Amino acid sequence: MPPKRTQRATVETTSAASTQANSATSRTPAIPWDSDGDGVDTSISVLLDWLTTGTNFKRYRGNTSGTTKVTMIQEVLDEMAAVGITHRNVKGGQPKIAELQGSYGKACDILRKTGSGVTDEDIRNGTSNLRKLILKACKYFDDLDPILSD
């Protein structure tokens, strides 16, 4: 049986918890990828432009030339810096590409379902057609489809 808790242990625990809470709230808030630029160029627009240019996505996905994904993300960050977006880093680039791939996969799942269509629940949630349902699953479907469909 564990020892009985004393008043002092409770005070120390409370103090530690408040210190953790303060450090968690002092973090810099996340900046959305679609609203961080000058109104024309945003992080997501630069990333999508890079992914859809030439063979960049194929290089990223199945690179055999020895170039690492980190190096390729740095290429994207360099393009972002050229348009004044300097707050992104390599650690944020790979998860964002994975997120885009995942949302595209969800949209494709909707398209592949037999008898795919808009359900009553979708209509109740404000989606009235299949296109809206796909764009709800993957906001950038039209940009990603040419490079991810193969």
Tens digits of residue pLDDT in 83-106: 999 999 999 999 999 999 999 999
Of 23 and 126, the structure prediction assigns the larger pLDDT to 126
Nearest to 57 by CA among 19, 26, 18, 101: 101
**Helix 69-82 with 90-112: angle, nearest 10 deg:** 100
Looking at residue 123, what is its pLDDT?
66
Instruction: Sketch the domain layout of the chain as residue ranges.
Output: 37-148
- Whether residue 41 contacts residue 85, with contact meaning beta carbons closer than 8 Å, is answered with yes
In sequence order, what E strands does the chain have? none
Most confident of 23-37, 47-61, 122-136: 47-61
Name the 3-class secondary structure at 47: helix
Mean pLDDT of the chain: 81
Looking at residue 110, what is its pLDDT?
86
pLDDT of 117 > 90? The answer is no
Of 67 and 145, the structure prediction assigns the larger pLDDT to 145
What is the spatial distance between Cα 51 and Cα 124, in angstroms, rounded to a whole number? 35
pLDDT of 78 > 90? The answer is yes
What is the spatial distance between Cα 142 and Cα 150, in angstroms, rounded to a whole number? 14
- Whether residue 2 contacts residue 13, with contact meaning beta carbons closer than 8 Å, is answered with no
Q: Which secondary structure element, helix H or strand E, spans residue 6, and what is its range? A: none
Looking at residue 7, what is its pLDDT?
64
Residue at token pair 């627009």: 45
